[in-house]
């Protein structure tokens, strides 16, 4: 079993020297412009890529992490270098949107450097320090679900990687509310047979990590402990199952149950993988009812719509039938009217023929007789020529004019 390195903080040298020495250039490419922070393993600097001079400041930005070298014991220095190189190797092998990308790694003047993409944002610890109140539960669930995704990626990687240092200061949130895991200093490929180094973060590490037996469920524990911090603003108690409601009565039963299960002291009692924890996180009992109601509403609306459509078809059919019937009736009436007209015309034609015949007879007999008087008046409209004939028959019966 190995132990974490110890440092001589008095002798600690801040990377490239005092702030007044900025900027300085590393490897002829990385222009270090400011110090971003300092962690247990090293110093983190803001830098610019001189090879990308044509790009915008934002695109040229990078972060240089320098391994500290103020270790009292030579073996600690060696251990720290081993951790650092492991971080470099682990990170170089990973490719995930929620994991900070490695750009370069090198050593110069006996110091070790790792260059990463610059994450524009803050870590969750800084964010909590600024706001001084618990985060919104929906926001926490959104971040936690992203962390579950990245843990699932790590745990199913070949070989699996156990992060082992999940805690608010190692989780950055960028300006798009996207999670970025930084600091893979103690992450390492998981080999069950191997004696794992027992590096712990008080409150965030599960019991098994104290004796060097971390497995994927250890990261589940650390995520539960991180949620406890985000809901309460306080670091979780070491080696204790967390219960957010004991410090924040506004925490829902839903998230309280998840944190308690994730931080179970016995790894068998936790979610057995990050994907299971994500399922629990995104299953929201309070929105299941509205969801069900929504489904019911959609089904009912569909039934009503289909019913109305079919009903409409039936009504339309009936209307068409009625229309056809009334059209037939109209047609019959029209036919009757035409028949009557035809009969009337026939009668008038008969009268005309008879009238003509009488006229011929009278003219032949030389005895003029007012033919029209025998038949009565003819319809002027129908027979105007006949009226003329009738008139000439009266005034000129011999046709002499």
CB closer to ligand ATP out of 117 and 362? 117
In whole angstroms, what is the distance from residue 320 CA to residue 252 CA? 62
State yes or no: residue 49 binds Mg ion (CB under 5 A). no
What is the token pair recorded at 97?
């949107």
Tell me the closest approach of the beta carbon of residue 88 to Mg ion, in angstroms: 15
- Report the 10 Å Cβ neighbour count for 343: 10
Among 170, 241, 248, 263, binds Mg ion (CB under 5 A): 170
CB closer to ligand ATP out of 172 and 222? 172
State yes or no: residue 87 binds Mg ion (CB under 5 A). no
The item of ligand ATP, Mg ion, none sharing an interface with residue 42, based on CB under 5 to 8 Å by kind, is: ligand ATP
Interface residues for ligand ATP in 150-189 (CB under 6 A)? 169-170, 172, 182-183, 185
In whole angstroms, what is the distance from residue 107 CA to residue 232 CA? 41
Q: What is the phi/psi pair of residue 126, to 5°?
A: -60, -40
Whether the CA torsion 164, 270, 1, 6 is positive or negative: it is positive
Q: What is the DSSP annotation of 35-60?
A: EEEE-SSEEEEEEEEGGGTTS-HHHH
The item of ligand ATP, Mg ion, none sharing an interface with residue 63, based on CB under 5 to 8 Å by kind, is: ligand ATP
In this chain, which stretch among 20-28, 181-189, 303-311, 380-388 interacts with Mg ion, using CB under 5 A? 181-189
From 165, 183, 215, 219, the catalytic residue? 165
CB closer to Mg ion out of 124 and 260? 124
State yes or no: residue 39 binds Mg ion (CB under 5 A). yes
In whole angstroms, what is the distance from residue 383 CA to residue 344 CA? 13
165 annotated active-site: yes
In this chain, which stretch among 39-47, 274-282, 303-311, 357-365 interacts with ligand ATP, using CB under 6 A? 39-47
- Report the 10 Å Cβ neighbour count for 18: 10
State yes or no: residue 215 binds Mg ion (CB under 5 A). no
Strands 61-67 and 121-123: unpaired
Q: Could you tell me which residues are beta bridge partners of residue 25?
A: 31
Q: Sheet of 30-38: strands edge to edge? A: 24-26, 30-38, 42-49, 61-67, 111-117, 102-108
In whole angstroms, what is the distance from residue 260 CA to residue 153 CA? 24
State yes or no: residue 37 binds ligand ATP (CB under 6 A). yes
In whole angstroms, what is the distance from residue 49 CA to residue 28 CA? 10
The item of ligand ATP, Mg ion, none sharing an interface with residue 162, based on CB under 5 to 8 Å by kind, is: none
CB closer to ligand ATP out of 103 and 275? 103
State yes or no: residue 41 binds ligand ATP (CB under 6 A). yes
Please, what's the b/e burial string for 126-153 (b: 16 or more CB within 10 A of its CB; e: otherwise)? ebbeeeeebbebeebbebbbbbbbbbbb
Whether the CA torsion 76, 81, 87, 93 is positive or negative: it is negative
In whole angstroms, what is the distance from residue 110 CA to residue 34 CA? 21
Q: Are 162 and 214 in contact (CB under 8 A)?
A: yes
CB closer to ligand ATP out of 61 and 267? 61
Among 42, 216, 236, 244, binds ligand ATP (CB under 6 A): 42
Residues in the chain: 401
State yes or no: residue 4 binds ligand ATP (CB under 6 A). no
Among 183, 208, 219, 390, binds Mg ion (CB under 5 A): 183
Contacts with ligand ATP: how many residues (CB under 6 A)? 21
The item of Mg ion, ligand ATP, none sharing an interface with residue 274, based on CB under 5 to 8 Å by kind, is: none
Cα 79–chain centre separation: 45
Per-residue x/- track, 111-150, ligand ATP (CB under 6 A): -----xxxx---x---------------------------
Tell me the closest approach of the beta carbon of residue 173 to Mg ion, in angstroms: 15
* Residues marked as catalytic: 165
Contact residues: ligand ATP, CB under 6 A: 36-37, 39-42, 44, 63, 65, 100, 116-119, 123, 169-170, 172, 182-183, 185
Binding site for Mg ion (CB under 5 A): 39, 170, 183
């Amino acid at each position: 079993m190995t132990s974490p390195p110890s440092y001589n903080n008095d002798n600690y040298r801040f990377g490239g020297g005092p702030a007044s020495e900025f900027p300085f250039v590393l490897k002829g490419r990385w222009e270090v412009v400011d110090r971003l922070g300092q962690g247990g393993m090293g110093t983190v600097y803001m830098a610019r890529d001189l090879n990308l001079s044509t790009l915008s400041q934002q695109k040229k930005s990078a972060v240089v992490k320098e391994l500290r070298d103020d270790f009292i014991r030579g073996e600690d220095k060696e251990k720290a270098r081993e951790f650092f190189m492991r971080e470099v190797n682990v990170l170089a092998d990973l490719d995930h949107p929620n994991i900070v990308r490695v750009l370069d790694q090198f050593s110069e003047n006996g110091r070790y450097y790792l260059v990463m993409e610059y994450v524009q944002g803050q870590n969750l610890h800084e964010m909590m320090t600024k706001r001084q109140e618990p985060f919104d539960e929906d926001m926490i669930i959104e971040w936690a679900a992203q962390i579950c995704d990245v843990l699932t990626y790590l745990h199913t990687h070949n070989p699996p990687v156990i992060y082992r240092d999940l805690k608010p200061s190692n989780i950055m949130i960028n300006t798009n509310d996207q999670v970025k895991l930084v600091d893979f200093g103690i992450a390492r490929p998981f080999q069950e047979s191997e004696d794992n180094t027992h590096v712990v973060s008080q409150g965030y590490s599960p019991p098994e990590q104290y004796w060097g037996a971390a497995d994927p469920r250890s990261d589940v524990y650390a995520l539960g402990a991180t949620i406890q911090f985000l809901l309460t603003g306080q670091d979780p108690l070491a080696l204790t199952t967390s219960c957010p409601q004991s410090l924040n009565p506004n925490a829902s039963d839903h998230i309280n149950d998840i944190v308690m299960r994730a931080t179970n002291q016995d790894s068998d009692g936790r979610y057995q993988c990050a994907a299971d924890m994500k399922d629990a996180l995104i299953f929201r009992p309070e929105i299941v009812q509205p969801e069900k109601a929504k489904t019911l509403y959609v089904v009912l609306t569909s039934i009503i719509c289909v019913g109305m459509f079919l009903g409409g078809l039936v009504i339309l059919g009936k209307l068409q039938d009625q229309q056809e019937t009334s059209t037939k009736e109209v047609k019959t009436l029209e036919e009757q009217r035409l028949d009557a007209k035809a009969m009337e015309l026939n009668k008038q034609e008969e009268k005309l023929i008879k009238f003509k015949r009488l006229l011929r007879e009278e003219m032949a007999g030389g005895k003029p007789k007012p033919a029209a008087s025998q038949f009565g008046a003819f319809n002027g409209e129908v027979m105007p020529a006949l009226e003329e004939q009738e008139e000439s028959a009266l005034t000129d019966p011999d046709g002499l004019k």
